[in-house]
A and B are shown apart, each in its own frame.
Chain A
Amino acid sequence: MASSLVLLLGSIAVLASAATVTYDFNIEWVTANPDGMADRPVIGINGQWPLPIIEANVGDQIIVNAHNSLGDQQTSLHFHGLYMNGSTHMDGPTQVTQCPILPGSSFKYNFTVKQPGTYWYHSHTKGQYPDGLRAPLIIHDPESPFRDMYDEERILTVSDWYHDQMPGLIDFFISKANPTGAEPVPKSALFNETQNLTIPVEPGKTYLFRMVNIGAFAGQYIWFEGHNMTILEVDGVYTHPAEASMIYLSAAQRCSFLVTTRNETNENFAFMASMDTTLFDQLPEDLNYNVTGWLVYDAEKPMPEPAVLYEDFEPFDDMALVPWDNLTLLSEPDQVVQLDVIMDNLGDGANYAFFNNITYVSPKVPTLYTVLSSGDLASNPAIYGEYTHPFVLEKDQIVEIVVNNLDSGRHPFHLHGRAFQAVWRSEEEAGTFADSNVTSASFPEIPMRRDTLVLYPEGNIVLRFKADNPGVWLFHCHLEWHMQSGLAATFVEAPMEIQKTLTIPEDHYAACAAGQVPTVGNAAANLVDWLDLSAQNAPPDPLPKGFTTRGIVALVFSCLSGMLGVATIAWYGFAEAVSGGTPTPGTVAGVAAAAAAGTDGRDDASPAEVASAGKANDVVTSSGTRGGGGGDLR
């Protein structure tokens, strides 16, 4: 339960001294029906859903005691956007920085937050969070440069919603029955995990909206009718204020903005979120991809129907934002990591997502524990296994990630452990970065920073950061479907530094022991020969590109039987023709008779005469047939 002290602090925001904020989370199934269409089991906390919001102040220590009461599913918690400096083991993704929390087990997350802003926490286990385990995490900043610009704060989530549970949806999504990798389309959109949300406002005031897209898949266009937005923060990074009439938030992105209310209270105003339907493989006719809420000036007044937009969405371009701290472009990179996004099918017929032909598969040993148990070998990427797609970064290196989208969909890429400089983003269909002849000279002087950036279809993005945060950090697409189909890579940042500074708490190892997950060894849990990864977890084999042995055998066999058949037909056909004298049908005899009749009857023209010849002939035929017995006149 959230400490009431913190909630108080959050709203008043006065004290700057560090405190410890403790939450005891009992993670369990509850039933909910947020869109009024279907009751379904959702993952609640302490019997509640929507989930409690984690709130703290900059400098506070947050402790989350998570207990898994789900009974049938593992879990873990990721605190999205928190840098986890010095506490990479509290980051949350299973098999990366921890073992899964088994049903009945507990796990203590304990970390100190040094960054203000709007974040969220969610499960980072097996695509679980869209089943409900997702909520905002707000770090208040008593020293905020904008603290005098607004009167009150409102936290607003937007999300997509499914009526089926993720395990079944994922089983379908990654199956041969879905060879195109069509992502399940949500059933509805939600504001604050509900619909027709009303937010009472007072006239002539300024509100800070902290908005989070906690959805699984759909990006959302968001706008307020009759009001403008002033953007102040994206993904925890303060920006110079920027006016916007509409914003776009991909899954996992956040944005804080000011909304100043009108001075009159004679009408209420709708605000809308509209799911980005370009992501959807198909658009079901009964899908309402919009969700509406209202700024309520006067509850007695009607809630106006919003104008629905169908196309020509013109959201604010987040690349145009300038961070408040004016941090300039990082110098030329020491290491460039290029990742090409591809979707393809593997030997099981299912569709997978690839970075450079590698689809992510979890290692047997959580990558962080491989770092800690491998000694000097920790800087050798090979030990982390081919399918975790590891990149080892040296401390304080400047790293550049170039992502080329060879796929036709939008992908919001998220890097754990930091906000990166988004130094370049191409338009759609611009091709690869290398082909576009863009140099650092075109990069902005003060690049926008955030932790989740949308990559456009068949375009490219370039990100830069300084490797000053030792830890094991995932870089992945935050569309939960693609996370499951393997669109992820692992950055092992300053592994020697991790070994020197990090101690894993006993309860973390206990979680591994409970699930019999090895905690030492390389990705294949081999601690004898660290470079032997033959036992590593691997994706299905690629689809055979041509004839396999099986195919060749079948083809040869079929050709053989075809030839044999043809030979038999020929044998039968010619045997008949040749064997005129053998005891075969009477036709032969009959023909002789008929021919005889034909020549004999030449002196008479009447048909009757011919017929009598035929009669004699008929007798011959009969006897002939009796001899042959085949009756085969044909």
Chain B
Amino acid sequence: MAVDVFSVPVFLVVFREALETVIIVSVLLAFLKQTLDGPNRDPVVYKKLVRQVWLGTALGFLLCLIIGGALIGVFYTLGANRWEASELDYEGAFCLIASVIITIVGFTLLRIGKMQEKWRVKLAASMEAPVRTDHPGAGKAVKRFFEKYAMFVLPFITVLREGIEAIVFVAGVTFSAPATAVPLPVVVGLLVGAIVGYILYKSGSSTRLQIFLVISTCLLYLVAAGLFSRAVWSFEQQKWSKLLGGDVTETGSGAGSYDVDNTVWHVDCCSPYVNGGNGWGFFNAILGWTNSATYGSVISYNLYWLFVISALFVMRFREVKGRWPLMKAKPAEIDVEEEVQSGGSSVKLGAESKAVDVEKTVPI
């Protein structure tokens, strides 16, 4: 089936991380070009630094591939047999994890257009950092190294960080898809991410990129809503399977493959799971289609959107008003600001944990 070789969530996650990496590299290269390839050019240093950037990127990428491959390999060899007994329970759990991850990642994808600016800022900050450490005593050699190879270290660390992040996300997302569905979307995600990044680098126009990003985010949330609904559906189907004392697949998509008392609609065709899905699997992956909808799957699908819509409104409210809804504007903004200065990643983590908290309150 379509989703057997191409897991849409995996593609989207890889794409996002690839895009982020490409943006960083492109910012670095643009930076070098602007500073060293101008009228007062120093071709030797420029070439050397460019080489450092690419070397750092390549090494970081290689390391990621190794770590990621090993991790996912271990996951699958360990998991394959152990999960079969209550397969649907696991499937549900993984769909839920994937849905939560995408929900969190998705918000940030909308902001990826701003990455370029963010990274220019970051780059500048990290260039400044070694100078600040004036007399660290023992750290002199380290300081030298960083000064000399900043153009290597920065992309290396960045690629490694984004890469490992991608691996963790992909690992979380892939369990909702068979192992065969992972490699292709990873490759395609990397390619598309690189291409889009390149276009971004070349054009410098963020409006066209923004359209692209909004569309892909919408797609991502459609997938996440479907996954969330499918998670609930899987839990229910597992219960049904247990009641039947075994194999629901015996009944295909016909009578007996579903609980009549818990069914909102059922059509004896178009199952995304029977006979390889016949393309309905694709609808299932993108839009969460099922030929046998339950009360749980329908309600959870709608609740998911309700949550996403309210979350976006709340976030927008905060962006515009500078405070959460139903809260008074506090003078304590300095705390947040300090956090910002200490590094982008901690802010992101904070935002994620908040999102997770809200997610938990959604009745399932």
A interface residues with partner B (beta carbon < 8 Å): 176-180, 344-345, 347-349, 351, 543-548, 550-552, 554-555, 557-558, 561-562, 564-566, 568-577, 582-585, 587-588, 590-591, 594-595, 597-599, 601-605, 607-608, 610-615, 617-618, 621-622, 625-626, 628-634
Give the Cβ gap from A600 to chain B, nearest Cβ, in Å.
Answer: 10
| Cross-chain contact of B127 among A585, A604, A608 (Cβ < 8 A) | A608
Contact flag A551-B265 (CB < 8 Å), given A572-B110, A612-B128, A629-B333: yes
Q: Can you name the residue of chain A whose Cβ is closest to the Cβ of B294?
A: A554
Would A618 and B124 count as touching, CB distance under 8 A?
yes
Contact flag A568-B255 (CB < 8 Å), given A561-B305, A611-B124, A632-B111: no
- Measured CA separation A566–B337 after assembly (Å): 31
Contacts of B235 in A (CB 8 A): none
Would A547 and B265 count as touching, CB distance under 8 A?
yes
Would B127 and A607 count as touching, CB distance under 8 A?
yes
Would B117 and A543 count as touching, CB distance under 8 A?
no
Give the Cβ gap from A129 to chain B, nearest Cβ, in Å.
Answer: 26
Give the Cβ gap from A138 to chain B, nearest Cβ, in Å.
Answer: 42
- Measured CA separation A226–B318 after assembly (Å): 94
Interface string of B259-301 (1 = CB under 8 A from A): 1110011111000000000000000000100000100001001
Would A598 and B35 count as touching, CB distance under 8 A?
yes
What would be 30 A-B contacts, judged by CB atoms less than 8 Å apart?
A176-B259, A177-B243, A348-B260, A351-B255, A547-B267, A555-B265, A564-B305, A565-B308, A568-B308, A568-B313, A569-B106, A571-B312, A572-B110, A573-B210, A577-B113, A602-B34, A603-B40, A608-B131, A611-B128, A611-B130, A614-B121, A615-B128, A625-B337, A628-B319, A631-B336, A631-B337, A633-B118, A633-B340, A634-B108, A634-B115
Contacts of A178 in B (CB 8 A): 244
Would B225 and A562 count as touching, CB distance under 8 A?
yes
List which B1-51 residues lie within 8 A (CB) of chain A: 31, 34-36, 38-40, 42, 45
Give the Cβ gap from A570 to chain B, nearest Cβ, in Å.
Answer: 5
Give the Cβ gap from B222 to chain A, nearest Cβ, in Å.
Answer: 6
Asked if B79 is an interface residue, CB under 8 A from chain A, the answer is no
Asked if B218 is an interface residue, CB under 8 A from chain A, the answer is yes
Would A562 and B305 count as touching, CB distance under 8 A?
yes
Interface string of B128-162 (1 = CB under 8 A from A): 11110000000000000001001000000000000
- Measured CA separation A413–B195 after assembly (Å): 72
Give the Cβ gap from B208 to chain A, nearest Cβ, in Å.
Answer: 11
- Measured CA separation A603–B35 after assembly (Å): 7
| Cross-chain contact of B206 among A180, A545, A577 (Cβ < 8 A) | A577
Would B333 and A626 count as touching, CB distance under 8 A?
yes
Would B34 and A599 count as touching, CB distance under 8 A?
yes
Q: Can you name the residue of chain B whose Cβ is closest to the Cβ of A601?
A: B35
Give the Cβ gap from A85 to chain B, nearest Cβ, in Å.
Answer: 43
Contact flag A561-B110 (CB < 8 Å), given A179-B256, A598-B35: no
Contacts of B264 in A (CB 8 A): 550-551, 554
Would B316 and A565 count as touching, CB distance under 8 A?
no
Asked if B123 is an interface residue, CB under 8 A from chain A, the answer is yes
- Measured CA separation A177–B241 after assembly (Å): 9
Contact flag A572-B316 (CB < 8 Å), given A561-B302, A610-B35: yes
Would B111 and A576 count as touching, CB distance under 8 A?
yes
Q: A569-B106, A572-B110 are in contact. List 9 more A-B contacts (CB 8 A).
A: A545-B267, A555-B293, A558-B301, A561-B306, A566-B218, A568-B309, A573-B214, A573-B217, A603-B40
| Cross-chain contact of B261 among A349, A555, A575 (Cβ < 8 A) | A349
Contacts of B323 in A (CB 8 A): 629
- Measured CA separation A618–B207 after assembly (Å): 26
Would B118 and A587 count as touching, CB distance under 8 A?
yes
Contacts of B354 in A (CB 8 A): none
Contact flag A621-B301 (CB < 8 Å), given A562-B222, A574-B210: no
Stretch of B62-70, B169-177, B341-349 contacting A (4+ beta carbons < 8 Å):
B341-349
Would A631 and B339 count as touching, CB distance under 8 A?
yes
B interface residues with partner A (beta carbon < 8 Å): 31, 34-36, 38-40, 42, 45, 106, 108, 110-111, 113-118, 120-121, 123-125, 127-131, 147, 150, 206-207, 210, 213-214, 217-218, 221-222, 225, 243-245, 250-251, 254-257, 259-261, 264-268, 287, 293, 298, 301-302, 305-306, 308-309, 312-313, 315-316, 318-320, 322-323, 333-334, 336-337, 339-341, 344, 347-348, 351
| Cross-chain contact of A566 among B222, B250, B266 (Cβ < 8 A) | B222
Q: Is chain A's interface secondary structure helix, strand, loop, or mixed overall?
A: helix
Kindly count the residue-residue contacts between A and B in the assembled complex, taking CB atoms under 8 Å apart: 228
Would A614 and B127 count as touching, CB distance under 8 A?
yes
Contacts of A591 in B (CB 8 A): 116-117, 120-121
- Measured CA separation A603–B243 after assembly (Å): 76
Give the Cβ gap from B20 to chain A, nearest Cβ, in Å.
Answer: 10
Contacts of B207 in A (CB 8 A): 577
Would B260 and A347 count as touching, CB distance under 8 A?
yes
| Cross-chain contact of B340 among A548, A568, A611, A625 (Cβ < 8 A) | A625
Contact flag A565-B225 (CB < 8 Å), given A576-B110, A630-B319: yes
Contacts of B340 in A (CB 8 A): 625, 631, 633
Contacts of A634 in B (CB 8 A): 108, 111, 114-115, 118, 344, 347-348, 351
Q: Can you name the residue of chain A whose Cβ is closest to the Cβ of B322?
A: A629
Give the Cβ gap from B113 to chain A, nearest Cβ, in Å.
Answer: 6
- Measured CA separation A327–B210 after assembly (Å): 92
Contact flag A570-B111 (CB < 8 Å), given A349-B260, A565-B225, A631-B336: no
- Measured CA separation A631–B340 after assembly (Å): 6
Give the Cβ gap from A105 to chain B, nearest Cβ, in Å.
Answer: 37
Would B45 and A584 count as touching, CB distance under 8 A?
no
Contact flag A558-B302 (CB < 8 Å), given A590-B117, A622-B341: yes
Give the Cβ gap from B348 to chain A, nearest Cβ, in Å.
Answer: 6
Q: Can you name the residue of chain A whose Cβ is closest to the Cβ of B334?
A: A626
Q: Which 10 A-B pairs have the closest CB atoms?
A: A614-B124, A179-B256, A551-B265, A345-B255, A611-B127, A349-B260, A629-B322, A591-B117, A611-B128, A573-B214
Would A349 and B319 count as touching, CB distance under 8 A?
no
- Measured CA separation A633–B35 after assembly (Å): 24
Contact flag A543-B260 (CB < 8 Å), given A562-B225, A591-B120, A631-B339: yes
Give the Cβ gap from B19 to chain A, nearest Cβ, in Å.
Answer: 13
- Measured CA separation A603–B333 after assembly (Å): 38
- Measured CA separation A196–B206 after assembly (Å): 89
Give the Cβ gap from B101 to chain A, nearest Cβ, in Å.
Answer: 16
Would B259 and A349 count as touching, CB distance under 8 A?
yes
Contacts of A576 in B (CB 8 A): 110-111, 319
Give the Cβ gap from A626 to chain B, nearest Cβ, in Å.
Answer: 6
Contacts of A349 in B (CB 8 A): 255-256, 259-261
Would A551 and B293 count as touching, CB distance under 8 A?
yes
Would A570 and B117 count as touching, CB distance under 8 A?
no
Contact flag A545-B268 (CB < 8 Å), given A562-B287, A566-B218: yes
Contact flag A557-B265 (CB < 8 Å), given A176-B260, A608-B131, A631-B337: no
Give the Cβ gap from A541 to chain B, nearest Cβ, in Å.
Answer: 11
Would A595 and B120 count as touching, CB distance under 8 A?
yes
Would A614 and B128 count as touching, CB distance under 8 A?
yes
Would B337 and A573 count as touching, CB distance under 8 A?
no
Q: Can you name the residue of chain A whose Cβ is closest to the Cβ of B214?
A: A573
Contacts of A177 in B (CB 8 A): 243-245
Q: Can you name the residue of chain A whose Cβ is closest to the Cβ of B117?
A: A591
Would B312 and A630 count as touching, CB distance under 8 A?
no
Would A548 and B265 count as touching, CB distance under 8 A?
yes
Q: Can you name the residue of chain B whose Cβ is closest to the Cβ of A540?
A: B260
Contacts of B147 in A (CB 8 A): 607-608
Give the Cβ gap from A612 to chain B, nearest Cβ, in Å.
Answer: 7
Contacts of B221 in A (CB 8 A): 565-566, 569
- Measured CA separation A307–B312 after assembly (Å): 76
- Measured CA separation A132–B115 after assembly (Å): 80
Give the Cβ gap from B269 to chain A, nearest Cβ, in Å.
Answer: 9
Would A569 and B217 count as touching, CB distance under 8 A?
yes
Q: Can you name the residue of chain A whose Cβ is closest to the Cβ of B323?
A: A629
Would B131 and A550 count as touching, CB distance under 8 A?
no
- Measured CA separation A572–B320 after assembly (Å): 12
- Measured CA separation A568–B308 after assembly (Å): 9
